[in-house]
Structure 1
Amino acid sequence: MNIQFFSFKLAFFALSTVLILGFASCEEDSALFISPDQQIELGRQLDSTIMVSPSEYTVLDATEYPEAYDYLENIFNEILSSDAVRYDNFPWQIRIIEDDETLNAFAAPGGFVYVYTGLIKYLDQEDDLVGVLGHEIAHADLEHSARALERQQGVSILLSVVLGQETARLGQIAAGLAGLQFSRSFETDADEKSVEYLADSPYNCAAARSFFQKLIDEEQAGGTPEFLSTHPNPDNRVENITEKAQEINCDTDPLNPPSYEDFKAMLP
């Protein structure tokens, strides 16, 4: 092999390695290698794994709780009708996980969203739930979930999972989805995107604000809500949501229909 050519290849390899490591070192700037279609396939496989993993996730059967799912899906679909949603081709789907002790919600790549009964029952009003769902939708829509899994598992492993070559990994990945953590920058982006979604809806566009304020108040009172362990809560988070709502001049009047308590009563 020509020495000059070999030196060029070596330099190119070194530069590529530096670039890849540089991307991997910063979540916000990382290159996303898994395509939207691959995100959908990964999400489907993770959802199928979640559905057969009762020790990790006890998903409520939609046929047993049709009224609860109708209520939740109406809200979910209203948010998704926004023009601000980037991936309207995702097979958006929401499931309820029965666990009254867990205050959490999470999103898998490709538009698969999950909310715990513990969180639903903890919330005071429908606006709070709307804000949380908008935030989780944003994590999938902005590809935060896919980026976080790429960083955690590695591109080659994720692609192998998508291609059905690493099925043993699915259980491990699915088990960790609820605890998937994002940077403060990603959390801020999801908060602000939620405001944009809700600006096109009949809901208070700053709906997430009251929920996060409640969490902040509890933390200051000496509690540590579980939601904060996987969703970092900077001091200015409520301010960011308020500022975004003011920036796009959307309606912040609470909707708060009386039916939210009825929704809670539909759950086990």
Structure 2
Amino acid sequence: MKKSLYTPVWLLALASILTFSSCESNDGVIFSTQDDLKLGAQVSAQVDSTYRAKGQLLERNSTNANTQKAYASLDRIVNRVLNSGQVKYKEEFPWTIKIINDPNTLNAFATPGGYIYVYTGLIKFLNDEDHFAGVLAHEIAHADKRHSVKQLQRQYGISILLSVALGNNAGTLQEIAGQLAGTLAGLKFSRDAETEADNTSVVYLGGTNYYACDGAAGFFVKMTQQEQAGNPPEFLSTHPNPDNRIENIEQQAEQKGCKTTTAPDTDFAELKRSLNL
């Protein structure tokens, strides 16, 4: 039987997308940034719904005066990082940060498209605004470097993500969003992705000309102390090897010659006061 020389349309589409994804401008992923936004919005909506049902989501549009003050302080910290001039998708992504009121969870995470979540347990744990800014810069880097989407490529494979990238399977997008919403806080990135997020946090903080660019190192130092005390935080289960990372971040800061003197803790202290932490 003679084989057909006809090339299926879906294969041509796949080839075109894979060719495009090899371009540096698309960060080596199948998803476009618009797909990041579409996926991130759905994931964020499901994360919000989950924690709202538990009474743990602090709503950004709350009429509570303390909640409003908390978000005002938090936004000032985040905006210094976003306005560092180093965030690639600063204009493309919404960069919305929300607080989950769970004082027993020491964690933060990012969705595709720039939705960031931080637990009150992390805010309570830290005392230094530079360290907290380092954590936020690290999570912003995960979104800005599109690590979540790269992880999805490995987890779900090309065929499923292709249908999402082409926008012809809303059900698949909804399914992935639902699954990801339930696992984001525990999503484990590759060693390379974590190192890139650490290194990028130095670049972001250095660009602020305000925070110590090695702020994330101070955060990991305190994490290590907590672990040595016999109470390892949840964050270390998804962000391992703090000792090596402390050394790497400090080396990056030294090589770049960026500011390492600490900034005032004014906004972070106000954030903690507003949350009664």
Q: TM-score, normalised by structure 1?
A: 0.84
Secondary structure class of the residue paired with 1:115: strand
Q: Is the 8 A contact 2:71 2:271 kept in 1?
A: no
Q: Give the aligned partner of residue 83 of structure 1.
A: 85
| In 2: Cα distance, 1:74 partner to 1:59 partner | 20
Verify the 8 A CA contact 2:94 2:114 in the aligned structure 1: yes
- What is the letter of the counterpart of residue 207 of structure 2? D
2:59 is equivalent to residue 61 of structure 1:
yes
Q: Which residue is 2:274 aligned to?
A: 266
- Superposition deviation, residue 263 in structure 1: 1.5
Report the counterpart of residue 42 of structure 1 in structure 2. Answer: 39
Distance 1:83 1:240 in 2: 23
CA–CA distance in 2 between the matches of 1:56 and 1:84? Answer: 36
Please tell me whether the aligned partners of residues 109 and 139 of structure 2 are also in contact (alpha carbons under 8 angstroms): yes
Q: In the alignment, is the contact (CA less than 8 A) between 2:86 and 2:204 conserved in 1? A: yes
CA distance in 2, matches of 1:85, 1:53: 29
User: For the structure 1 residues 199 and 169, does the alpha-carbon distance in structure 2 shift closer, same or farther, using more than 3 Å as the test?
Assistant: closer
CA 1:118–1:238 in 2, change beyond 3 Å: closer, same or farther? same
Question: Which of residues 107, 111, 120 is equivalent to 1:104?
Answer: 107
- Residue 187 of structure 1 and its aligned partner are, at CA, apart by 0.8
Structure 2: any 5+ residue segments left out of the alignment?
19-26
Q: What's 1:214 paired with?
A: 222
Where do 1:110-125 residues align within 5 Å?
110-125=113-128
Gaps of 5+ in 1: 21-29
Q: CA deviation at 1:86?
A: 1.2
Instruction: Spell out, residue by residue over 1:235-265, the C-alpha distance to the aligned partner (whole angstroms, 9 max, x if none).
Output: 3111111111111110000113245333212
SS at match of 1:53: helix
In 1, the alpha carbon distance for the partners of 2:41 and 2:214 equals 31
Q: How many residues align?
A: 251
| Matching residue within 194, 197, 203 for 1:196 | 203
Structure 1 residue 221, shift from structure 2 partner: 3.2
Amino acid at match of 1:184: R
Which letter does structure 1 place at the counterpart of 2:234?
A: E
Task: Give me the identity figure in percent.
Answer: 44
For 1:90 and 1:134, the matched residues in 2 are separated by 15
Rounded to whole Å, the distance in 1 between the matches of 2:41 and 2:112 is 9
Query: Which residue number in structure 1 is paired with residue 258 of structure 2?
Result: 250
TM-score, normalized by length of structure 2? 0.82
Q: Secondary structure at the match of 1:90?
A: coil
Q: Is the 8 A contact 1:93 1:111 kept in 2?
A: yes
Match of 2:170 among 164, 168, 190: 164
Counterpart contact for 2:39–2:177, Cα < 8 Å? no
Over 3 Å counting, the alpha-carbon distance change for 1:57 and 1:184 in structure 2 is farther
Q: Which residue of 2 aligns with 1:236?
A: 244
